[in-house]
Amino acid sequence: MDTMSRARKLPESMRPLFWDCPFAQLHWPTHRDFVTARVLACGDWQALRWLRRRLGDNDLRQWLMHRQGAGLSRRQLRFWELILELPHRTVDSWLARPSQRIWDQKG
């Protein structure tokens, strides 16, 4: 396998995160948005470190701002608020949305 193919493939350790789709067909950057969302919502520390190396904190911050934290729990959003220095009022506004309150009540 050449270097370019390896760079596009996801690490084997992330396979359990993508139990519901054909893992071998997922590639970075083709499925960047989907992979980012899944890793942020369900990833372990190793997967999160991989994602931060891949995207960088600035791009990750922009991704979260664009999606307004959608799909992440209150706890996850507060974590990323601290790590990525997201504006506190902005995260508060995301958490105040009715759709977020419904998400928090599940589980």
Note the pTM of the prediction, 2 decimals.
Answer: 0.84
Per-residue pLDDT of 56-71, as tens digits, reads 999 999 999 999 999 9
- Residue 50 falls within a domain, yes or no? yes
In this predicted structure, what is the pLDDT of residue 6? 55
Range of the domain at 93: 31-105
pLDDT at 104 over 60: no
- Residue 9 falls within a domain, yes or no? no
- Residue 21 falls within a domain, yes or no? no
| pLDDT cut 90: percent of the chain above it | 80
Per-residue pLDDT of 80-102, as tens digits, reads 999 999 999 999 999 998 876 55
The mean-pLDDT minimum among 49-53, 66-70, 85-89, 103-107 falls in: 103-107
- Residue 22 falls within a domain, yes or no? no
User: Looking at the 3D structure of the chain, how many domains does it have?
Assistant: 1
In this predicted structure, what is the pLDDT of residue 22? 95
Cα→Cα distances 50→30, 53, 60, Å: 16, 5, 12
- Residue 39 falls within a domain, yes or no? yes
In this predicted structure, what is the pLDDT of residue 90? 96
- Residue 10 falls within a domain, yes or no? no
- Residue 5 falls within a domain, yes or no? no
- Residue 7 falls within a domain, yes or no? no
In this predicted structure, what is the pLDDT of residue 2? 47
In this predicted structure, what is the pLDDT of residue 5? 54
